[in-house]
Amino acid sequence: MGFLSRLTQASKRAAPAKPDHCHVEIDGAPVRVALLWNDRALRYTLRLRGSVREPVVTIPARGKLAEARDFLERHRGWLRARLAALPAATPIVDGGWIPLRGEPHRIVHHAGRGLVRIDQHEGERRLLVTGSVEHLPRRVTDFLKREARRDLEAATARHAATLGVKVKTVRLGDPTSRWGSCSSTGTIAYSWRMIMAPPAVLDYLAAHEVAHLREMNHSDRFWRHVAAICPGMDEAKAWLNRHGASLHAVGAD
């Protein structure tokens, strides 16, 4: 190995690690901001990361920390307003409340074994959760994901049959910036959190994504497809705009 090659490798090894966070002061208190170095990004962006509710600055290729800090300072007012507008966190705990298909359910832990199940007691909807109490948040989340898959797969199949399109795969995740997505290959991905929204909102999301298998855009023709299979789309879109953040608050600290 030549001297220049050894020097280049040594230089790479000595390169300092890029920081993964910084802080910005808001109302006299430091707020932690995650830094996401993304060589595929074209510009600096600032967003809040889902249920974590953490600000994230994306730094594009050849971006610099100093530029990221300047960008964050310029958008400090926007960040302050977004943080102030966040709904209160809804922890998943015994005795707490959680929405399911748009209706509040009380979480009730009790001894024994068995699956999480829904019941009603003295007019109160409940989720009955067994097992160790320290596993309660995970068990409730797993239950919500199972319910979400069932409802979303059914709605997807119904709308696909109406539009005469074929869905290859339905996937669930917990994205922070969108409720669903559709690929040209027929794979549709949804946020499992939609099971907490009213059924009409979940139905709209399925209609929206299935319609992309006809039009991979948001043209007038696309929206006509959505309206044809989901007449209540305007009300559902309005609900998501008003209350969508509350779904990400479930499970937050």
Q: What is the pLDDT of residues 57-114, one digit of tens each?
A: 999 999 999 999 999 999 999 999 988 888 888 999 999 999 999 999 999 998 888 8
User: What is the per-residue pLDDT for 111?
Assistant: 84
Rounded Cα distance between 94 and 101, Å, is 20
- What six digits make up the tokens of 5? 């090659």
- In 3D, which of 8, 13, 11, 17 has the Cα closest to residue 37? 17
Tell me, yes or no, if the pTM score tops 0.85: no
Number of alpha carbons in the 13 Å side-chain half-sphere of residue 178: 10
Per-residue pLDDT at 85: 83
CATH code for the structural domain at 97-249: 3.30.2010.10
Backbone dihedral region for residue 131 (phi beyond 0: left; psi -120 to 50: alpha; all else: beta): left
Measured N-to-C along each axis, helices 199-211 and 220-229 cross at an angle, to the nearest 10 degrees, of: 140
pLDDT (tens digit per residue) in 151-200: 999 999 999 999 999 999 999 999 877 899 999 999 999 999 999 999 99
What pLDDT does 13 receive?
60
Confidence of residue 12 (pLDDT cuts 50, 70, 90): low
What is the DSSP track for 213-230? TT-SS--HHHHHHHHHH-
Domain borders along the chain are 12-85, 97-249
Q: 1 pLDDT exceeds 70?
A: no
Q: What is the pLDDT of residues 36-56, one digit of tens each?
A: 999 999 999 998 876 557 899
